[in-house]
Amino acid sequence: TPAGCGPRRGGHVRKRPQGRDSVDSVANRLLTTHPWQVRESSLDADSLGLGESVFALANGYVGLRGTLDEGQPSAARGVFLAGVYEYHPLSYPEGGYGHPEHGQAMIGVADGTGIRLQVDGVPLDVREAPAGRHERVLDLRAGTLRREFEWTTPRGGRMRLVSTRMVSLAHRATTAIRYEVQALDQPVQIAIRSELTVNCTPPPVDNSDPRVEEALHSPFESCLRGSHQTGGHLVHRTRRSGTCVAAAVEHEILRPEDAQVHTTDGEDQVATSLVAELPPGGTAGFVKYICHAWSREDPPAGLRDQAAAALEAARQLGWEGLAAEQQRVLDNFWQAADVEVDGDPDLQQALRFDLFQLLQASACVNAAPVGAKGLTGYGYSGHTFWDIDSFLVPAMTLLRPEDAARMLRWRSSGLDRARERAQVLGLEGASFPWRTIDGGEASAYWPASTAAAHLNADIARAFGFWADATGRNLEEVGGLDVLVETARVWARMLHRDHKGRCHLYGMTGPDEYTGVVDDNVFTNLMAKRNLDLAADACEANPAAAQRLRVSREEKRHWREAADAMYVPYDHVLGVHPANEGFTTYREWDFEGQQGAYPVQDHAHYAKIYRRQVVKQADLELALWWCSDAFTPEEAARNLDYYERRTVRDSSLSAAAQAVACAHAGHLDLALAYLREAALVDLRDLQQDSQEGLHLASLAGAWLALACGLGGLQTEGGKLQLAPRLPARLERIAFRLQWRGHRLGVETTPAGTTMRLLDTGTSGTAADEAELTLSVDGTDYVVAPGRPAKAPLHAAEPLLQRQPSRQGGNRTGSSQRRNGATPANSVSQRSAAASPASGQAHHAKAPAMA
């Protein structure tokens, strides 16, 4: 759905099927478990979209969906460039001041994946060809997608097709496809048509405004084109946003030597044809190189030359050279970031898949945002949201800090647009967009966008996290300016009551089922931290503070406002209401819900807003990010209260709940949530993975492991750990980077071992320096060749009794089949959440998959 055309997240309303059994079984049946691969053992027409997302390849600059070579059948073809979009009108039933006038939607660019095959005049179509075997393998160590297909022709001959795709992690513009077809037992004539096509697949449009479809249906107009015997180029410009995109293609013919090859070009297509006679056992094959370039400033001819230069470099390297460089990038990545989980093969595979996708989303990103779906699908129109700053940036800060730095530089580059938006809202400072590609607000639903001002503090937190974890100056990523301007916007929005307490009114927190409320606890605490962080940063960088005209009086005002921030508390129940009065709202009828989820598809928001039903972790997220604001007892009571009211209709929820449960000592439940976050796409748990992968959940899975089960905290310039090991797992090992050091952390029942790993840059200070870190409050020193070992502390659950209030009943498909009854407390659910049994009993059971 194009941006801003619907409610909640601003235009994307998921229509989940009522029954989950069939979808879950398809994902489980087709994708087999392997520690370093994702393997699809057969092709299922009902799960094409899922496969196209799971098997997508990208590098942060260019991405392509995992479609079949023939192009059809497909759910949604697409090749994307980060930052390339088209404008479209935003329509409103009733207009209003400050509403964005146009939205942005990511659009498919020149698609070079199409390779159509005819055998003896019959086009290959997997829907019609009698298949002997169809397999696709995503290799997480090689960075390739390999497809093998065997079938029988109408004349009875057996054929084999092998294609391997690669999006280079070393050369951002380059995609390569090695394509080979073999006649196994009969002579055949083959005809191959390899295409580079523009305007072939418009983005999905679910909007009644005809202007939206008109804007996005055929967004490119031709500027330049050309061809030669084995390739050619296309240069196009978007009609509204003025973005120029060039693509060049070349074919290296491998065999047979006598193949007839020629190329034609039109306004929207370059097509290379290969015709050959194959004897039994004969093979025809080629390597196809595709390179892209785009700009809003450079002329078409200049972009054509950029793409041509990248293409020539790829051709000189050849397939083997590109594959070797891909291998080197991934070897280095896994050396620095690998995760090992003994005792849960599904989780092991999922975490490596998740990390691979984080790398694909960010490795080559530059001067462009990372969307919520990365470059894996059209979901959310390619927009970036607060969850990229909140989950992906911190994860990459600890895994590949330079990638995180580039993401932060893009965010800070939008500061002027954020200042303009603040002025429209009558505020000082900067108000960042809820959803965007170009830096301007693109959401037409203000209660879940403009009112969700917590995103400004979330963005500030990302900058502070990066500076703390790397030990580098905020000025390198434009962070001080962001901290100052976001602090200024909070100072302007705050209201002091007659008691001197500071309030934030009319806010929406992360929970989108409770909107436009007063004193949302998460928002207030994050604003408080934003104000303090800005004041600290200005004191550490006085020259930069002077440049931004931050006075001593302004810093004092920030400190005072942070100290006076009001945080609601219900003394009767002993919990924090998610917002003022939340605990007095009417309870949601979970029993009456009868599995009708997501709630937003079955109830009006006028009803949802007045009930105690939580879409995603809100106060529980505060338990993680603002843990010092709660005593352990308060955290435990809050956890128990909100666990029974959180339905997790958002993929962002499970990771935060995993960390909160781990910190409270409920490790089985923490593991269940960790598995849900990690497996969200491999098991299609939200039933919308066909629209693209859930990057924030995938990043959240790694954070849930490191910050939840690993107890990792990074504030104050010191690394702290509090490792815990769920009973089901035999061993957990993860790696991270901290202030130039590469650290390995390994936890077994015998204890936790920390060791410094080779940085790969011999002679650096990090190679020679010691690292002091804390484990469960005790300091340890690790140095090259001198690991340290800490005892494993037993996790004592903070909740031992069953609470007196009844929780909601929302169970997964396995519980419906078995007639299980949900438990009512975190402690009871934690005991019931054994992944070995495939069941977890609580308001909505974590997906054990």
512 is catalytic: yes
CB 714 within 8 A of CB 469: yes
Residue whose entry in the numeric block shows the structure tokens 């998610």: 578
Question: Cα–Cα distance between 674 and 526 in angstroms, integer?
Answer: 24
Six token digits for residue 740: 């130039």
Cis peptide before 256 (omega within 30 of 0): yes
626 φ/ψ angles, rounded to the nearest 5 degrees: -125, 45
98 φ/ψ angles, rounded to the nearest 5 degrees: 80, 0
Dihedral, CA atoms, 378, 382, 386, 391, nearest 10 degrees? 70
Question: Cα–Cα distance between 420 and 146 in angstroms, integer?
Answer: 48
For strands 611-612 and 586-587, give the pairing: parallel
Question: Cα–Cα distance between 613 and 382 in angstroms, integer?
Answer: 29
CB 286 within 8 A of CB 252: yes
Q: How many residues are there in the chain?
A: 849
Annotated ligand binding at 387? The verdict is yes
CB 105 within 8 A of CB 382: yes
Question: Cα–Cα distance between 422 and 435 in angstroms, integer?
Answer: 15
Annotated ligand binding at 306? The verdict is no
CA nearest to 171, candidates 298, 60, 36:
60
Phi-psi region of 648 (alpha: psi -120 to 50; beta: other; left: phi over 0): left
Beta bridge partners of residue 646, listed in sequence order: 614
CB 618 within 8 A of CB 650: no
Burial of 820 (0-12, 13-18, 19+ CB in 10 A): middle
Number of H helices, E strands in the chain: 24, 32
Residues 6+ apart with CB under 8 A from 766: 739, 740, 741, 742, 759
Residues 6+ apart with CB under 8 A from 151: 124, 126, 129, 130, 131, 132, 158, 159
CA nearest to 160, candidates 135, 141, 195:
135
Annotated ligand binding at 511? The verdict is no
Strands, sheet with 340-342, edge to edge from the N-terminal-most edge strand: 340-342, 731-738, 741-748, 751-757, 788-790
Active-site pick, 86, 512, 676, 746: 512
CA nearest to 754, candidates 728, 793, 780, 726:
780
CB 196 within 8 A of CB 251: no
Annotated ligand binding at 69? The verdict is no
- The alpha carbon of residue 469 and the mean position of all alpha carbons in its chain are separated, in whole angstroms, by 21
Residues flagged as binding site for substrate: 386-387, 615-616
Q: Which residues are catalytic?
A: 512
Residues flagged as binding site: 386-387, 615-616
